[in-house]
Amino acid sequence: MTAIKPFRGFGLGLRPPHYREFVERDVPVDFVEVISENFMVDGGKPLRILREVRERYPVALHGVSLSVGSADGVDPEYLERLAGLVRSIEPLWVSDHLCWTRTSAHNSHDLLPLPLTHEAMQVVCDNIDRSQEALGRAMLFENPSSYLSFPEDEMPEWAFLSEMSRRTGCFLLLDINNIYVSAHNHGFDPVDYLAGIPADRVRQIHLAGHTPGDVLIDTHDRAVCDAVWELYARAMRDLGPVAVMIERDDAIPPLNELLAELEYARTVAVSAISEPLA
Residues that bind other proteins (CB under 8 A): 37, 40-48, 65, 67, 70-72, 75, 77-78, 100-103, 105-110, 112, 115, 117, 119-120, 123, 146-153, 185-186, 214-215, 217
Length of the chain equals 278
Report the C-alpha gap between 93 and 160 in whole angstroms: 22
Give the residue with the Cβ less far from other proteins, 108 or 271: 108
Q: What minimum distance in Å lies between the beta carbon of 101 and other proteins?
A: 8
Give the residue with the Cβ less far from other proteins, 8 or 109: 109
Give the residue with the Cβ less far from other proteins, 103 or 271: 103
Strand partners, 60: 33
Q: What minimum distance in Å lies between the beta carbon of 103 and other proteins?
A: 5
Q: Alpha helix locations (H) across the chain? A: 19-24, 45-56, 76-89, 118-135, 157-168, 176-186, 190-196, 226-238, 255-274
**Coil, helix or strand at residue 172:** strand
For residue 43, the tally of other CB atoms under 10 A from its CB is: 7
Give the residue with the Cβ less far from other proteins, 115 or 253: 115
Q: What minimum distance in Å lies between the beta carbon of 188 and other proteins?
A: 11
For residue 116, the tally of other CB atoms under 10 A from its CB is: 20
Give the residue with the Cβ less far from other proteins, 101 or 132: 101
Residue 208 backbone dihedrals phi, psi, to 5 degrees: -160, 175
The single-letter DSSP state of residue 136 is T
Give the residue with the Cβ less far from other proteins, 31 or 160: 160
Q: What minimum distance in Å lies between the beta carbon of 150 and other proteins?
A: 6
Q: Cα Rg for the chain, rounded, in angstroms?
A: 18
Strand partners, 97: 142
Q: What minimum distance in Å lies between the beta carbon of 105 and other proteins?
A: 7
Give the residue with the Cβ less far from other proteins, 36 or 165: 36
Contact present, 68 and 95 (Cβ < 8 Å) = no
Q: What minimum distance in Å lies between the beta carbon of 49 and other proteins?
A: 10
Q: What minimum distance in Å lies between the beta carbon of 214 and other proteins?
A: 8
Report the C-alpha gap between 11 and 32 in whole angstroms: 5
The single-letter DSSP state of residue 150 is -
